[in-house]
């Protein structure tokens, strides 16, 4: 899990231990970590996503029709059904990476009484 890895490598104890190792050993460790990372990327493993029943429950409790949230590595519009003639949906925003090709910079334009509109910056 990335968050556990991140917490580990940012700890001063781990950094001191890692940097005390010979360069060749550190390079071997780095190569192994990269190989594991690439293997996970190519495996097609899915990322965690929002639980649809919970999204519907939240929309009902808040009396809203649209849930907008940060990226889950799959920016998309999810139609969750229709209630009393109103479409329920969940909008997932992209992550932001200006250095990517093509750049991923997406915002939503919110206008009263109009569905949100995706804009690429």
C-beta separation of 77 from 65 below 8 A:
no
Instruction: Please state, in angstroms and rounded to a whole number, the distance separating the CA atoms of residues 50 and 74.
Output: 11
Ranges of the chain with pLDDT below 70: 43-48
- pLDDT tens-digit readout, 73-91: 778 899 999 999 999 999 9
Is the pTM value of this prediction over 0.85?
no
Give the count of alpha carbons within 13 A of 54, CB side only.
3
C-beta separation of 100 from 81 below 8 A:
no
Annotated domain spans of the chain: 2-42, 52-120
């Amino acid at each position: 899990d990335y968050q556990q890895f991140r917490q580990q490598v940012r700890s001063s104890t781990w950094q001191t231990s890692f940097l005390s190792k010979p360069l060749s050993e550190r390079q071997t460790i780095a190569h192994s970590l990269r190989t594991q990372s690439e293997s996970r990327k190519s495996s097609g493993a899915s990322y965690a996503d929002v639980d649809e029943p919970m999204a519907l429950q939240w929309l009902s409790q808040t009396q809203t029709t649209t849930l907008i949230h940060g990226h889950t590595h799959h920016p998309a519009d999810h139609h969750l059904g229709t209630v009393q003639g109103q479409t329920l949906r969940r909008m997932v925003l992209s992550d932001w990476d200006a250095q990517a090709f093509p750049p991923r910079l997406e915002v939503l334009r919110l206008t009263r009484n109009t569905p949100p509109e995706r804009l690429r910056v």
